[in-house]
Amino acid sequence: MNIFVYGSGAWGTALAMLLCDNGHAVTLWTHDPEKAAAMVRTRKNPALAGSRLPKELAVTADPAGAESAELVLFASPSNILRRTAHTAAPYINPGTVLVSAAKGIEQGTNLRMSQIIRQEVGKDCPVAALSGPSHAEEVSRRMATGCVAACADRAVAERVQAAFMNDMFRVYVNQDVVGVELCGAVKNVIALGCGVIDGLGLGDNAKALFMTRAMAEIARLCQAAGGQRSTCSGLAGMGDLIVTCLSPHSRNRQAGLLIGRGAPVALALREVGAVVEGYYAAASVKELGEKLGVELPICRSVYGLLYEDQEPEEAGRRLMQRDRRSEFDYNWDKM
């Protein structure tokens, strides 16, 4: 299959390498001609240190390369995905399978990444989402990983599954695009909060409490938006939450760790040295929750830390002092 990848960050590069391993003809696009030339010359990408690009992988700064692609993968950061999709749109042919590997919600529109791609590209192209617990560093080293290919059209989901799956990268199909994408966006907010907990030295009990109750928030949001609660217990939900909250690879956790240790938010974001998706997602999730009338106390607390100069210790106290409640929505009279 001829595949074009928009986005030469760590994730886009790792997926391009995976697709090359699977025998596809793959081209990786970067907006920077100098970076493209350097990657061709050195067969390295600074965004993915320690990995060598396969000789079969083409690298370009020309977006028109997508004209011959049967599948186009979008792996840009969420905050520039619309710009990337707009750049790509003139070169994508009708019927081309489009795959979003970006995780986020667009601030102001509350659109998911697949919706942005569909809006910008159009042309009756099917759009799928690829998501799950998948750090680029480990995928590039061919370490065992599992993901989800989500699309309302099962045939399209299975085509994406076939393109990406191999002995070390297992892909499951899922029809719940809404749930898969929302889980992928909100978990970055939660991972940032978990980093703060670690930075404050609050312990494993607090982190387990935070992650578990955060998953309840994600499930409420998914259901209100039209997704399925069951998705939250799968790879795109709990799986991705675990790896992003606990792994040293996680940029969101790293940023939270610095904030918990006293660094100003702006400094923490700079220190990480790459896009911290949870920072942007916190504002978008807050907007979406308010729009849908969903209570999101944990996500709202992380937003307060990032955008309202709220002190981490105070945010934690407020969460712990909330009113007593039942863990689940039981109907006690029928039990």
Active site residue 187: yes
What is the Cα–Cα distance from 164 to 158, expressed in whole angstroms? 10
Which of 5-17 are b and which e, b meaning 16 or more Cβ less than 10 Å from the residue's Cβ?
A: bbbbbbbbbbbbb
What is the Cα–Cα distance from 146 to 240, expressed in whole angstroms? 10
Q: Exactly one of 55, 103, 187, 334 is catalytic; which is it?
A: 187
**Residue pair 85/121 in contact by the 8 Å Cβ criterion:** yes
Show the domains of the chain with their CATH numbers. 2-175 (3.40.50.720), 178-325 (1.10.1040.10)
pTM, entire model? 0.94
The set of residues, in sequence order, having a beta carbon less than 8 Å from that of 189 and lying 6+ positions away, is 252, 278, 281, 282, 285, 299, 302, 303
**Residue pair 75/38 in contact by the 8 Å Cβ criterion:** no
Of the candidates 54, 72, 52, the residue with the CA atom closest to the CA atom of residue 63: 72
Q: Which amino acid makes up residue 290?
A: E
Q: Over its length of 335 residues, how does the chain's per-residue pLDDT go in tens digits?
A: 999 999 999 999 999 999 999 999 999 999 999 999 999 999 999 999 889 999 999 999 999 999 999 999 999 999 999 999 999 999 999 999 999 999 999 989 999 999 999 999 988 999 999 999 999 999 999 999 999 999 999 999 999 999 999 999 999 999 999 999 999 999 999 999 999 999 999 999 999 999 999 999 999 999 999 999 999 999 999 999 999 999 988 999 999 999 999 999 999 999 998 889 999 999 999 999 999 999 999 999 999 999 999 999 999 999 999 999 888 876 767 76
Enumerate long-range contacts of 232-235, CB under 8 Å, 24 or more apart.
232/179, 232/183, 234/148, 234/172, 234/174, 235/131, 235/132, 235/133, 235/146, 235/147, 235/148, 235/172
**Residue pair 114/89 in contact by the 8 Å Cβ criterion:** no
For 331, other C-beta atoms within 10 Å of its C-beta total: 6
**Residue pair 132/312 in contact by the 8 Å Cβ criterion:** no
